[in-house]
Structure 1
């Protein structure tokens, strides 16, 4: 593999002549702006960004990069904590300018380009009273979210993001454009649904949409001295939660630095039924605030954006639990008491309902039993290398303390380079099938994102 360390625009002239988009190198004024991804702690400096405007640009870029044997990476939305979208001294096939969204209100489907974000899709689909399962931060790229699975506030009713994928258009390692669906390249379609970003460049995706406009949602906030009681109550309450109700749980910090426990329910059925279902939850304990109210789904998705802004430094860890027990509750409470930064948080995602009723073998995403995915997020403004390490150590120690009680594997979108041993455990019986797919569609391991990295 050839490493490209020094380059100028003359070196790329043959490729540039083929592109509608543009090539950005370190000498360009816009390089630092283009290089920035969500996690400001990522300092990787690629040799060039090929800013693709369309599918043909992706094809030209991939064929050119492969002809020279340069290392490459692929960027979609760029909301990446581990920096996997960037490759040191490599070429980035950058799909982030490709953000077009087309909604078909008659068929309840959406088609998006590979760089489109959650916000792009939801803002467009809500004009027609439609939505699909997405995460809760609008800047997250839909392609990356889908390829890893896609937890979100609608998954109890409609499954994971990847469960709503109808087709994906992919440029494969040999530069060919193919469409994968239940009827075309069905083997690849299986692997794209939760198998990670290792089979090609996804240039567009088609989703099933559902009638969703106003949901009953908002935060219930509790002081930390009620945490144990709320955790126990939550663990019991979710066992009978209907599909329409998905409840995120966690701890955030108020502007003054005080940690508060939150419950964040989203009920996507009728508002009247939602009021009845949520009544026992809202009556429990002594909340500091009850912000639950009818809210447009697009507004809900945008409501958490300010909490995790682009450019801040982040380090994340995840563990999945089959529920909360006394031991894990103590780990979580102790972790919160040791927050190393006012910007750190713990968020627990509620996996149940329609998402759990999909067979583990129906798509690459394998952990289909009801569970809670614990996301441990260290966020901080940079001060010193020693401070950076302290924040990372807090997240790592919290993850390690949960590990004895956790399910095998993890959430593939949130594993980092140091957790390769968890990848086969995450896919379970699907791992060998993914290996076989890798040998078919990318036998030379051109794409080896840490997201679902498949070892040949």
Structure 2
């Protein structure tokens, strides 16, 4: 994009347009994953929906390339494309709560921290992620799971309406009564259909939650994961717990004698009476004595921020994911083998439960195609040092390739990595892909929104 076109764009927008020659360019093109180093032609920092409409229309009318940034947490760095215009929603972070209807409206650039801060004042929350720095937009459009999923479903199960700027710069509301085909596609279909400038969510009573962390030595890995796979699915929806392979961080609440040790563990949370969690988890010794077990009541936003300091912006990330309906003994062997090979102290594997309330939603009600899954797994190579980027990727890919035969075939779209194939995207959407492609043809027939895990428009009839 030449300088004249850049200046023309600046005259049409309220928010700043940051180009490669501007002193703010380095900041503007920074995303959460430090492994991403892309040089967009411009970053349009939108202040309101009118800015988004004008920016999309400008890109469309001038035949430019485009990417969209919400919170900027995308692991593959899809918020940026070399030579493209990034529509940056991060200045749009407002959240409005209606306690009477138990609903909240969040702007497209809001983070989970913004959302939780606003809703917690009223003792309310909706299921969304495990880190407050995550953008609510990208998380929601991919489906969204978190600590509250077994009790209250996926994030998209709680989405009631969305405001969307389409590929030609026009604006529509999408909900069950208006553009219902678009609304269906937005609930799990990723950023393929437009720029969502605001989301309306149902909220649920959540205030103080019970939180626990249990860690076991790696020599108990097989016994622990087999116990976990049997215990959690039959537990009440109030209880959630994600399984992890990890290196124990050097700090509280962990005692010094286990700092730096590779372990397996579960991060538990409960929406039942927090004082009862200790009794509920009295069984954690069944697979073998834990090296560490800690329980405490905690305000829900504090739970959401628990890992923020451990995982700041700028680390090197490479991840891959899959869905699982079971954890076989052979899969447990794979997990145990790669847990011993964690390449850096921050690298990890998580199995997030997506059963309970999420599993009772009809398979065709949303674009999320894995209502029969029990776990959404992610393998993440993480480290601050760019020199370790290749090692992170190699470990994550090798782990994923060894584990994939035991998966359901597709993965959570927000956990797909860089350079995933079109077959992989199809597997993620299963039989919903063709319906999504039809919606794509209706709302984005020329595939302007392709800086994503892309769904190609269906060919004309």
The TM-score, its normalising length taken from structure 1, stands at: 0.95
Q: How does 1:308-347 map to 2 (within 5 A)?
A: 308-347=311-350
The separation in 2 between residues aligned to 1:301 and 1:420, in whole angstroms, is 33
Superposition deviation, residue 223 in structure 1: 1.4
The separation in 2 between residues aligned to 1:439 and 1:250, in whole angstroms, is 40
Match of 1:26 in 2: 20
The separation in 2 between residues aligned to 1:450 and 1:94, in whole angstroms, is 15
The separation in 1 between residues aligned to 2:304 and 2:19, in whole angstroms, is 34
Secondary structure in 2 aligned to 1:73? strand
Instruction: Check if 1:291 corresponds to 2:294.
Output: yes
Secondary structure in 2 aligned to 1:99? coil
Match of 2:447 in 1: 445
Aligned pairs, how many?
A: 448
Alpha carbons 1:415, 1:450 under 8 Å: kept: no
Match of 1:403 in 2: 404
Alpha carbons 1:158, 1:355 under 8 Å: kept: yes
Alpha carbons 2:64, 2:85 under 8 Å: kept: yes
Please give the root-mean-square deviation of Cα atoms over the aligned residues, in Å. Answer: 1.5
Alpha carbons 2:367, 2:432 under 8 Å: kept: yes
Superposed CA deviations along residues 38-97 of structure 1, whole A, max 9, x for unmatched, are: 001101100100100000000111111111101011101100110111010111111111
Secondary structure in 1 aligned to 2:346? coil
Alpha carbons 1:195, 1:452 under 8 Å: kept: no
Superposed CA deviations along residues 376-420 of structure 1, whole A, max 9, x for unmatched, are: 000123353xx4222201000000001111102111112132232
Match of 1:173 among 167, 178, 187: 167
Superposed CA deviations along residues 292-320 of structure 1, whole A, max 9, x for unmatched, are: 21111000000011222210110001122
The separation in 1 between residues aligned to 2:43 and 2:176, in whole angstroms, is 33
Match of 1:361 in 2: 364
Alpha carbons 1:159, 1:353 under 8 Å: kept: yes
Superposed CA deviations along residues 402-452 of structure 1, whole A, max 9, x for unmatched, are: 111110211111213223212112212211110110110000111013335
The TM-score, its normalising length taken from structure 2, stands at: 0.94
Alpha carbons 1:148, 1:451 under 8 Å: kept: no
Change (3 A) 1:300 1:68: same
Match of 1:230 among 221, 224, 249: 224
Match of 2:309 among 287, 306, 311: 306
Superposed CA deviations along residues 201-253 of structure 1, whole A, max 9, x for unmatched, are: 00000000000001111211111112111111101101311111111011121
Secondary structure in 1 aligned to 2:121? helix
Q: List runs of 5+ in structure 1 lacking aligned partners.
A: none
Q: How does 1:176-195 map to 2 (within 5 A)?
A: 176-195=170-189
Q: How does 1:1-12 map to 2 (within 5 A)?
A: 4=1, 7-8=2-3, 10-12=4-6
Match of 2:393 in 1: 392
